[in-house]
Amino acid sequence: MQKLSLEALSRQHLERAAASSTGRSSQSIYGGHEHVLRQTLIALRAGSTLAEHENPGEATVLVLRGRVRLVSDDASWEGMAGDLLIVPEARHSLEALEDAAFVLTVGKTQ
């Protein structure tokens, strides 16, 4: 069994995102290419985005810190610490409204 502190990882990656020219930092915390389930902790500096992209499978965003906006077509959803956003099965983007850290969980479709 492995135990991770999402709080500690959030702090660490928010510091890395603040120092990065891209305004982001991430780490796979479970799974990977050889698994169906993948969880990634992502930190974004305020104003940074994950550009519009295809949905790789069923996905959720669990906001740990800050605020984010998930956008798909003409719809958008805002999330703050403690919120779980269900990612639509369509092209979408995500923007950090404040410095933010979240866990992206994806169940890839084959």
List, in order of start, the domains of the chain with CATH numbers. Answer: 6-108 (2.60.120.10)
Q: Does the pLDDT value for residue 108 go beyond 80?
A: no
The model's pTM = 0.92
Q: Does the pLDDT value for residue 32 go beyond 90?
A: no
Q: Does the pLDDT value for residue 11 go beyond 90?
A: yes
Please state the three-class secondary structure of 10-32 as a single string.
HHHHHHHHHHCCCCEEEEEEEEC
Give the model confidence (pLDDT) of 49-102 as tens digits.
999 888 878 999 999 999 999 999 889 999 999 999 999 988 999 999 999 999
Q: What angle do CA 64, 93, 22 make, to 5 degrees?
A: 75
Q: Does the pLDDT value for residue 33 go beyond 80?
A: no
